[in-house]
């Protein structure tokens, strides 16, 4: 049974930083691309960042490019999202996601996702 557990969310002032972590179990982690999505109140879930199975290729939403960094540690079954220069519009529940099939560049659409974490709340105050 695949499980993804996020941590690291919280309340931060605009301009601050947070680091989200996600630990995966129940899968051959190093064979799967991973991603982060977020969902703000009243809005659809949206893509934030993705990492290929090796971590060698990363992709970002335009809204976070240059501020967020996705990384992974395959030895620890962990994926991270370093978030800098946070803005109030970054406020959302952030979800860790594993791509539905092995290898690849990472999920971009919700239909690409095989499993979701439970989410962690990030709130950025102005």
The model's pLDDT over 65-88, given as tens digits with 9 standing for 90+, comes to: 999 999 999 999 999 999 999 999
Report which of 83, 93, 111 is spatially closest to residue 37, judged by C-alpha positions. Answer: 93
Q: Residue 5 CB: number of other CB atoms within 10 A?
A: 13
Q: Are strands 10-13 and 120-125 parallel, antiparallel or unpaired?
A: parallel
Q: Is 77 left (phi over 0), alpha (psi -120 to 50) or beta?
A: left
pLDDT value, residue 18 = 98
Greatest distance between any 2 Cα atoms in the chain: 41
- What confidence category does residue 121 fall into, taking pLDDT thresholds of 50, 70 and 90? very high
Q: Which two tokens stand for residue 53?
A: 């199975």
- What confidence category does residue 101 fall into, taking pLDDT thresholds of 50, 70 and 90? very high
pLDDT value, residue 88 = 97
The model's pLDDT over 32-62, given as tens digits with 9 standing for 90+, comes to: 999 999 999 999 999 999 999 999 999 999 9
């Amino acid at each position: 049974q695949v499980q993804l557990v996020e941590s690291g969310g919280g309340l931060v002032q605009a301009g601050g930083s947070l680091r989200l972590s996600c630990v995966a179990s129940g899968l051959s982690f190093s064979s799967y691309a991973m991603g982060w999505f977020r969902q703000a109140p009243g809005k659809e879930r949206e893509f934030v960042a993705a990492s290929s199975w090796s971590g060698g290729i990363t992709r970002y939403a335009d809204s976070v490019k240059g501020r967020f960094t996705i990384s992974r540690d395959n030895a620890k079954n962990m994926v991270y999202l370093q978030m800098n220069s946070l803005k109030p519009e970054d406020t959302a529940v952030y979800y860790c996601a594993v791509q539905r099939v092995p290898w690849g560049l990472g999920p971009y659409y919700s239909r690409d996702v095989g499993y979701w974490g439970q989410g962690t709340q990030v709130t950025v105050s102005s």
